[in-house]
Structure 1
Amino acid sequence: MAAGPVARSHRPHDNLGWLLVATGLLWLVKGFRLSTVPALFTVGAALTNMYIAVLTQPVFSFPWGRLRHRWERWFVDGSYAYYAVVSELAFLDTHASARPIHRR
């Protein structure tokens, strides 16, 4: 996340800095899946892999700072859709995730 403000100061004309900050925050939010608070668990489960989708945008926009081709935009939009809807929630077993760990 610290790389975001540095990138923003060096390249203020594009969104690379904000994307790096968002990637770091989403990577940290995925730890909410370990929470026993239902709302935090739900947010963590829904956003577990979303940081990957946000990270694909700067990867495809390197080195120009912008997505230059239509197929790149389709790929990035598709990765947002996939990671937001299909990736984690379609195969999530909430019963296995929510079980407390009993130690002997």
Structure 2
Amino acid sequence: MSIQTVIADTNTKMNKAVDVAKEDMAAIRTGRAHPSMFAKIMVEYYGTLTPLSQLATIQVPEARTAMITPFDKGAITSIEKSIRESDLGVNPGEMAQ
């Protein structure tokens, strides 16, 4: 194995480690809402676990408020359940439109 191969392999592994660290840092609770805090939430949607980001838009209009707007209104109950069961420690509530 040449030195160039070792350097390329090490560089790839280090970049992956940095990406994972960035994802983990984004999930740290700072007292402010951020869309990335919902990145790992999976929702059961028609019998399949689906990432929340594929089912809804996530906006943060205020520092302590996140607004999740599902593309399919029928998924609201499943989304609320997944958020409630996550370890985020947030309390979802449905807003009337």
Provide the TM-score with structure 1 as the length reference. Answer: 0.32
Greater percentage in helix: 1
- Higher relative CO (Cα under 8 Å, sequence separation at least 6) belongs to 1
Which has the larger Rg?
A: 2
Provide the TM-score with structure 2 as the length reference. Answer: 0.34
